[in-house]
Structure 1
Amino acid sequence: MKPKIFEPHENLAAWVKCYWTLESTIENTPLKNTIIPDGTMKLIFHYGDTYKHHINDTESIILPKCFLIGQLTRPYVVEPLGVTGSFVVRFQPNGFLPFANISIKEIQNTAVPLDALFGNEGTAIGTQILQANSTSERIQLIETFLLNRLTDKKSIDSIVASTVETILNANGQFTVNELSKKNNINRRQLTRKFSSTIGLSPKQLSKTIRIQNTLKTLLTTEVTSLTDLAYENEYFDQAHFIKDFKEFTGLTPKEFYGEHLKMSLIFDSEE
């Protein structure tokens, strides 16, 4: 159950990273999936059956059919309640800002229904996308909706954009001090800017990108030593690597490398 990925219109590329669809029958749908933080926010439309979110071992909630998922700082466990049919808008790390009318920082690890974001217009676009007959129709609907709301392109912050690019290009291997010096900005100011525009601190985004890069190595390369993997990704030592890995996946590297190895493919939205 791997997503199909689609590029956004060039007028939205600064804000939207990609679209993707995920479909499965009941027979090939895993019982539970773990969404691992990747530094982006997503609009999710379940045109198939909906999902349940497991908050912990004893608590769970039924997710809305259409919602925004805020920045994740921990593993987010979901369970499909039937046939999966999902259309996802994956924003750039700072890409949701022009469309936000609520505090991005305050919706970390939270599913926000579309009507809470956009009122009646949110309800209407959700209904249209759920009733659409094809991915191309869904993309056309959401792009028209987003372009109509893209009224303040100046809301992008050049320092934030530059720092995000640095973090991505370096696979998260810069410290916050190095990032603030590179952009000639006070560390606290940089953290404040990130918090309000991305919903994560520079340190959180760097840790997220680094763990994502590590996961891609696990999924695409034959790894002979987890210790070597830790040092290749510039973790201080193996203990530091294990701590960060468990923080984001809920598992140790050894546990993940076993039966759980392929689970992140389900929600891996990179080609």
Structure 2
Amino acid sequence: MNLYLEHYVTQKTERFINKIWCLDNSIGESLIENKLVLPNGCFNLAIVTGKAIEVHTSKNKYEMNEGVYFCSQMTNKVLVNIEPKTKVTIIQFHTWTLSMFPKYDLSNFTDSIIKINPEELPFNLQIDSDIERLLQTINVYFEELSDLHSEKNTIEKICEIIKNQEEISVADISKNLKLSQRLLQIKFKTATGLTIKKYIQILKFRKAVDQMVNADLEKLKLTDVALYNKYFDQSHFIKKFKDVMKTTPKTFDPDSYFLSLKR
């Protein structure tokens, strides 16, 4: 049994959904504990079946029994314990996806998880759906959403600019979009719970960690990782690393984390 699996949506759906990933302990007989998840700038919709999963964020501990949960943006690592006979299927939304539903104000919602009624979702989500049925549901809904909204909104444009330009300021984004910095900040915070600066920091940090995981650190020095990802120096990177991970790069163990597969 593979504890961690990834499933991919259609190209059109990828505009809104990064992937669907599963934590599967459904045939396990023992608790899987002290696994970790890193922030990556995405929201997650988690479907728990079986017994329960326990999640520790920087703000709280959540006991997630069978049901559907909405997970906010995370700004620090998250600790996960998975009970035996439990499976968690997670739909990972891009940063801007929730901005397509302006009734949601996420200004003060970070590092948090809430249980939701699946009937309130805009698509028909069955908690006992297999992965093929779930992918079909997600693809049908978000392909149609993409067709209905062919023009990118402000939040999607901000994220696209940040993705294409690693080092950019809010002032630069403001000039690019011809909108005031204050308006951009309000819109972004309402849609994501993050400031634009914090979002940039999360993406930069995650890119650096992924590089550490996928590179041969005997050949690629920590200083190289720091400078390549636009940190001032190695000390600056180590400080930021400790802020999020509560450990140093030297003691970082990738096997303790659920990390994205290379595609």
* TM bracket, shorter-chain basis: 0.7 to 0.9
* Partner Cα distance (1:145, 1:162) in 2: 22
Measured at CA, do residues 61 and 18 of structure 1 come closer, stay the same or move farther in structure 2, by a change above 3 Å?
closer
Q: CA deviation at 1:250?
A: 2.7
Q: CA deviation at 1:192?
A: 1.4
More helix per residue: 1
Q: For residue 5 of structure 1, what is the aligned residue in structure 2?
A: 7
Q: CA deviation at 1:46?
A: 1.7
Q: For residue 261 of structure 1, what is the aligned residue in structure 2?
A: 254
Tell me which of 96, 101, 105 is aligned to 2:107: 105
Query: Deviations 1:7-32 (Å, cap 9, x if unpaired)?
Result: 1472x433222222332453687411
Q: CA deviation at 1:214?
A: 0.7
Q: For residue 170 of structure 2, what is the aligned residue in structure 1?
A: 176
Q: For residue 17 of structure 1, what is the aligned residue in structure 2?
A: 18
Q: For residue 242 of structure 1, what is the aligned residue in structure 2?
A: 238
Measured at CA, do residues 45 and 150 of structure 1 come closer, stay the same or move farther in structure 2, by a change above 3 Å?
farther
Measured at CA, do residues 193 and 269 of structure 1 come closer, stay the same or move farther in structure 2, by a change above 3 Å?
farther
* Partner Cα distance (1:156, 1:229) in 2: 33
Confirm whether residue 166 of structure 1 aligns to residue 161 of structure 2. Answer: yes
2:57–2:76 Cα contact (<8 Å) kept = no
Q: For residue 251 of structure 1, what is the aligned residue in structure 2?
A: 247
1:73-222, aligned counterparts within 5 Å?
A: 73-99=75-101, 101-115=103-117, 120-121=119-120, 128=126, 130-132=127-129, 134-143=130-139, 153=149, 157=153, 159-170=154-165, 172-222=166-216
Aligned CA-pair RMSD: 3.2
1:9–1:143 Cα contact (<8 Å) kept = no
Q: CA deviation at 1:145?
A: 6.3
Tell me the number of residue pairs that the alignment of Structure 1 and Structure 2 aligns.
257
More strand per residue: 2
Q: CA deviation at 1:215?
A: 1.3
In structure 2, runs of 5+ residues without a counterpart are none
Amino acid at match of 1:243: K
Task: Indicate the SS of the match to 2:33.
Answer: coil
2:31–2:83 Cα contact (<8 Å) kept = no
- Deviation beyond 6 Å, 4+ runs, structure 1: 145-152
Amino acid at match of 2:193: G
1:98–1:150 Cα contact (<8 Å) kept = no
Q: How does the TM-score come out when normalised to structure 1?
A: 0.80
* Partner Cα distance (2:148, 2:7) in 1: 27
Query: Deviations 1:148-196 (Å, cap 9, x if unpaired)?
Result: 9899748952x432221122234x4323333333333332222112112
Amino acid at match of 1:233: N
Give the share of equivalent positions with the same residue, in percent: 20
Task: Indicate the SS of the match to 1:50.
Answer: strand
2:48–2:64 Cα contact (<8 Å) kept = no
Task: Indicate the SS of the match to 2:90.
Answer: strand
Amino acid at match of 1:262: D
2:32–2:84 Cα contact (<8 Å) kept = no
Task: Indicate the SS of the match to 1:231.
Answer: helix
